[in-house]
Amino acid sequence: MNHQSPASLAFIGGGNMARSLIGGLVARGADPTTIRVAEPVDALRHAMQQDFGVHTFDHAADAVQGADAWVLAVKPQVMRAVCEALTTQAQATRPLVVSIAAGITAGQLDRWLGGSLAVVRAMPNTPALLGAGVTGLFANAATDNAGRARAAALLGAVGATVWIDDEHLMDAVTAVSGSGPAYVFLLAEAMQQAGEAQGLDPAAARVLAAQTLLGAARMLTEREEPADVLRARVTSPGGTTQAAIETFEAGGFRGLVARAIDAATTRGRELSAAND
């Protein structure tokens, strides 16, 4: 009789993004007993266990036991130390390594884990919790088709996936979609506050702003027309929208967005260099 447990997935780090991914996976039918999570913070570990029924551990070395795929979900600043503590197990079991860390390259991860491993860099975002995420994926040369398919299936369970051939562009992916939900939340905050300043009560302003973002996002994703065409349909000549859009343009909105995305992209590259 075969007493081996089924192949399992280990998450190293059980913070915000791991929680979004694990919550999304379990909500979409993944067997939580095949998911093992290392997280040093007691409250986070207990919440992960209670909310999703996954196996939890204090230490990464215990979580990776028997796992044939590892998701590295710790901050870039601690990634080197976390990997170097797992080198012996990585070389013994040769898992598929999936890192979601901003900036940290596949080459760095492979080197810190002892070399010659299949490493996939993934950049998901928190809407994964609702199955509405999007993930950019880059695989190193040691990753075979089965490894690529496993990584794509893992992240594809919680949203769309896009393969990126040039690893350098993963920092731009991070800046656009990894960080992107925060920009939308900032816009929501600003719209809500501006509505309140015009006299709307906070609850009404919140519903109006949030539902507008949802409806607009659905039009962007469920219709063929590009954003500028959809925008034109809202903008009656000489009307209210035109007054607002002209104010945005005069205030340098596009340039500001470009500078923000450039700052995030640059920060990703700094995180790689600073934590090598």
Ligand X SMILES: NC(=O)C1=CN([C@@H]2O[C@H](COP(=O)(O)OP(=O)(O)OC[C@H]3O[C@@H](n4cnc5c(N)ncnc54)[C@H](OP(=O)(O)O)[C@@H]3O)[C@@H](O)[C@H]2O)C=CC1
Ligand Y SMILES: O=C(O)[C@@H]1CCC=N1
- Which residues participate in the annotated binding site? 12-17, 73-76
Question: Is there a contact between 164 and 138 (Cβ–Cβ < 8 Å)?
Answer: yes
- How far lies 156's CA from each of 22, 24, 91, in Å? 13, 10, 27
Least separation in angstroms between residue 139's CB and ligand Y is 19
Of 190-249, which residues contact ligand Y (CB under 6 A)? none
Among 152, 178, 205, 265, binds ligand Y (CB under 6 A): 178
**Would you put residue 159 in left (φ > 0), alpha (ψ -120 to 50) or beta?**
left
Contact region for ligand X (CB under 6 A) — 34-42, 191-199, 215-223, 248-256? 34-42
Least separation in angstroms between residue 179's CB and ligand Y is 5
Q: Which is nearer to ligand Y, 31 or 270 (CB)?
A: 270
CB-based contacts of 17: which residues, under 8 Å, 6+ apart? 73, 100, 124, 126, 128
Q: What is the DSSP annotation of 213-231?
A: HHHHHHHHHHSSS-HHHHH
The 10 Å Cβ neighbour count of residue 133 is: 25
Among 22, 86, 96, 102, binds ligand X (CB under 6 A): 102
Calpha distance 19→44 (Å, rounded): 9
Among 126, 143, 265, 272, binds ligand X (CB under 6 A): 126
Q: Is 159 in the site for ligand X (CB under 6 A)?
A: no
Q: Is 23 in the site for ligand Y (CB under 6 A)?
A: no
Contact region for ligand Y (CB under 6 A) — 62-70, 173-181, 201-209, 213-221? 173-181
Pairing type for strands 119-123 and 67-72 reads unpaired
Q: Is 143 in the site for ligand Y (CB under 6 A)?
A: no
Q: Is 171 in the site for ligand X (CB under 6 A)?
A: no
Among 9, 60, 72, 102, binds ligand Y (CB under 6 A): 102
Q: Which is nearer to ligand Y, 8 or 135 (CB)?
A: 135
Annotated binding site for NADP(+): 12-17, 73-76
Q: What is the DSSP annotation of 85-125?
A: TTHHHHHHH-PEEEE--SS--HHHHHHHTTSS--EEEEE--
Q: Which is nearer to ligand Y, 35 or 173 (CB)?
A: 173
How many residues touch ligand Y (CB under 6 A)? 4
Least separation in angstroms between residue 232's CB and ligand X is 32
Q: Which is nearer to ligand Y, 102 or 109 (CB)?
A: 102
Q: Is 8 helix (H, G, I), strand (E, B) or coil?
A: strand
For residue 141, with 0-12 CB atoms within 10 Å meaning exposed, 13-18 middle and 19 or more buried, which class applies?
Answer: exposed
Q: Which amino acid is at 109?
A: L
Out of ligand Y, ligand X, none, which partner does residue 44 contact, by CB within 5 to 8 A per kind? ligand X
Q: Is 56 in the site for ligand X (CB under 6 A)?
A: no
Q: What is the DSSP annotation of 182-225?
A: HHHHHHHHHHHHHHHHTT--HHHHHHHHHHHHHHHHHHHHHSSS
> Which residues bind to ligand X, rule: CB under 6 A?
12-18, 38-41, 44, 60, 73-76, 78, 82, 100-102, 123-126, 178
> Which residues bind to ligand Y, rule: CB under 6 A?
102, 174, 178-179
